[in-house]
């Protein structure tokens, strides 16, 4: 067993740089639903663990399971955006370009990684046509995703794909097109490629194509960005239906921030897709995994001990925190119930623990002294998440700081609003600002009588996403995790 004094941290807060992720992955119900169920749309707040699930699926090592992941940090969107179909219905302008990219990805999997191919005579014939088209168009049967819509490429062997080129009125018979002409023949090309690809899929295997980091370049006011994401969601829906009809084990998985999906994307059949194909990545809710289990796996890994009940080996839970709370509940209340939050808080506690001598467990004092560092982290996380929606977020936080106390009334906020509203670049009514703060769980709304079972409570959006903002509420409370960052007192005296 390692000693707490000998370790540096319990992992990183982002999946991309977290060395412990692969060894400490927590099998969340959302992961199992994405892997084995009907759902393809994985939604979650920033830091909820979407990329962890994405990486887990992309790195699956199974002779009968194949996966490709697309992350768009360096993707040439200008090439993709040039492939819109202007004549299509607005929400379908990007539908066919996404389908084409998905079909190219599926073809790459079949031609390069699936060692069971060709699994049948029909698959042999279909694969030969796929290979002929891809190799002659891209110069390789394993083209890079950044080359899919490159204007220097030419689409070849279109006659084999049953693409009618008569509308181009060529002087002589030709079997190729410039990439810029693809939108004019998208439907024919995609229909033929889909038929060939689905025919080639081995029914004994599972195939996954995953899309992550779709918030890169997100602009709340950009119609084109919204339409681009809508096109991907609709394409994934169409492939889900086609695969089910053909009895294929194919899933196109889309990992997307819940705020972007719920706030920014409006399209026909959204409610139907949300109800049928969406899974929300939530923690410490009935039927979900817990953040305690996330940390116990990490404690077990870095300390060289069994993961089960390792929380009580690391934290001294024999002494309650203020308000008769366990240390776990105390920490949980200061998070947005996301893995990155609880990892950060535990790392902050570890830093405090390192600065004192003696002891072999985290104490109440360690937890309390970790508040300030953690609170500053949480504020920065919120700023990263909301600054594109609300450029005046710094002024919003100053209004809350001006209050002086964690719990406040509408009249008290009105005074803070009056002191700061002239500094707003985008003036908004006070009620609208309060609602925006609520939407991002910066504040909770007081609800008398709880949920019909007696008692009162403060309702936060991250705990109850379906709860609407109550403009007639008599009291509000700033999230516990922001108290230190905003220098707020918890209670008024007198």
pLDDT given at position 494: 46
The DSSP annotation for 417-441 comes to: HHHHGGG-SS---HHHHHHHHHHTT
Q: What's the chain's average pLDDT? A: 92
pLDDT given at position 194: 96
Q: pLDDT tens-digit profile of 207-218?
A: 999 999 998 888
pLDDT given at position 172: 52
Domain ranges of the chain: 4-9+287-369, 29-280, 388-482
Calpha distance 96→84 (Å, rounded): 8
The secondary structure of 242-284, three-state, reads HHHHHCCCEEEEEEEEHHHHHHHCCCCCHHHHHHHHEEECCCC
Q: pLDDT tens-digit profile of 233-292?
A: 999 999 999 999 999 999 999 999 999 999 899 999 999 999 999 999 999 988 888 999
Confidence grade of residue 72 (pLDDT, cut at 50, 70, 90): confident
Q: pLDDT tens-digit profile of 179-208?
A: 999 998 899 999 999 999 999 999 999 999
Count Cα atoms within 13 angstroms, Cβ side, for 210: 25
111 Rama class: left (phi>0) / alpha (psi -120 to 50) / beta? alpha
pLDDT given at position 466: 83
Asked whether residue 430 carries a pLDDT value surpassing 70, the answer given is yes
Calpha distance 466→472 (Å, rounded): 18
Asked whether residue 119 carries a pLDDT value surpassing 80, the answer given is yes
Q: Which whole number is the average pLDDT over 61-66? A: 92
Looking at per-residue pLDDT, the higher value among 21 and 244 belongs to: 244
Asked whether residue 42 carries a pLDDT value surpassing 50, the answer given is yes
Residues pairing with 398 in the sheet: none
Per-residue tokens: 288: 């979900």
pLDDT given at position 124: 97
Q: Which whole number is the average pLDDT over 384-404? A: 94
Element (H, E) at 55: helix 50-58
Q: pLDDT tens-digit profile of 434-469?
A: 999 999 999 999 988 755 545 578 999 999 888 899
* Residues contacting 230, CB < 8 A, separation 6+: 91, 94, 265, 267
pLDDT given at position 326: 97
Q: Which whole number is the average pLDDT over 99-115? A: 96
Looking at per-residue pLDDT, the higher value among 16 and 137 belongs to: 137
Asked whether residue 354 carries a pLDDT value surpassing 70, the answer given is yes
Q: Which whole number is the average pLDDT over 353-370? A: 93
Q: Which whole number is the average pLDDT over 6-28? A: 84
Asked whether residue 493 carries a pLDDT value surpassing 70, the answer given is no
Calpha distance 265→225 (Å, rounded): 10
Q: Which whole number is the average pLDDT over 374-395? A: 94
Q: Which whole number is the average pLDDT over 88-115? A: 96
Confidence grade of residue 71 (pLDDT, cut at 50, 70, 90): confident
pLDDT given at position 451: 54
Q: What SS3 state is found at 189?
A: helix
Q: pLDDT tens-digit profile of 460-485?
A: 999 988 889 999 999 999 999 999 99
Q: What percent of the chain has pLDDT over 70?
A: 97
Q: Which whole number is the average pLDDT over 312-328? A: 95
Q: Do 399 and 413 contact (CB within 8 A), yes or no?
A: yes
Q: What SS3 state is found at 65?
A: strand
């Amino acid at each position: 067993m390692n000693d707490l004094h000998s370790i540096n941290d319990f992992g990183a807060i982002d999946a991309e740089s977290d060395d412990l992720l692969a060894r400490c992955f927590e099998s969340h119900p959302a992961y199992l639903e994405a892997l084995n169920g009907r759902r393809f749309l994985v939604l979650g707040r920033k830091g909820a663990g979407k990329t962890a699930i994405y990486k887990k699926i992309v790195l699956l090592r199974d002779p009968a399971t194949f996966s490709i992941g697309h992350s768009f940090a360096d993707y040439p969107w200008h090439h993709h955006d040039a492939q819109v179909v202007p004549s299509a219905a607005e929400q379908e302008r990007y539908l066919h370009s996404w389908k084409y990219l998905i079909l190219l990805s599926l073809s790459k999997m079949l031609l390069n990684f699936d060692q069971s191919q060709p699994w049948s005579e029909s698959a042999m014939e279909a694969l030969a046509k796929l290979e002929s088209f891809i190799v002659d168009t891209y110069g390789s049967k394993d083209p890079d995703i950044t080359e899919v819509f490159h204007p220097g490429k030419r689409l070849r062997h279109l006659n084999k794909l049953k693409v009618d080129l008569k509308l181009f009125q060529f002087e002589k018979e030709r079997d190729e097109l410039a990439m810029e002409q693809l939108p004019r023949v998208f439907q024919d090309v995609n229909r033929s490629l889909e038929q060939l690809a689905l025919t080639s899929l081995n029914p004994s295997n599972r195939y996954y194509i995953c899309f992550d980091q779709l918030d890169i370049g997100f602009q709340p006011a950009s119609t084109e960005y919204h339409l681009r994401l809508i096109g991907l969601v609709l394409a994934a829906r169409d492939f889900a239906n086609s695969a089910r009809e053909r009895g294929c084990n194919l899933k196109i998985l889309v990992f997307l921030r819940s705020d972007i999906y719920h706030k920014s994307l409006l399209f026909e059949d959204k409610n139907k897709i949300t109800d049928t194909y969406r899974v929300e990545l939530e923690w410490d809710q009935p039927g979900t995994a817990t953040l305690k289990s996330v940390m116990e796996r990490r404690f077990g890994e870095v300390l060289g001990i069994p993961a089960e009940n390792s929380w009580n080996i690391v934290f001294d839970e024999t002494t309650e925190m203020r308000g008769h709370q366990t240390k776990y509940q105390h920490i949980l209340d200061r998070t947005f119930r996301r893995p990155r939050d609880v990892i950060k808080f535990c790392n902050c506690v570890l830093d405090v623990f390192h600065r004192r001598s003696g002891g072999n467990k985290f104490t109440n004092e360690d937890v309390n002294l970790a508040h300030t560092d953690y609170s500053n982290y949480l504020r920065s996380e919120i700023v990263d998440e909301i600054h594109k929606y609300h450029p005046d977020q710094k002024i919003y936080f100053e209004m809350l700081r001006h209050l002086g106390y964690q719990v406040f009334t509408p009249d008290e906020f009105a005074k803070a609003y009056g002191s700061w509203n002239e500094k707003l670049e985008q003036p908004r009514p006070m009620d609208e600002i309060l609602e925006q703060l609520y939407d991002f769980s910066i504040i909770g709304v007081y609800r008398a009588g709880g949920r019909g079972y007696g008692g009162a409570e403060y309702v936060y959006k991250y705990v109850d996403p379906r709860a609407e903002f109550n403009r007639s509420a008599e009291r509000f409370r700033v999230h516990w995790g922001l108290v230190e960052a905003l220098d707020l007192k918890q209670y008024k005296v007198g």
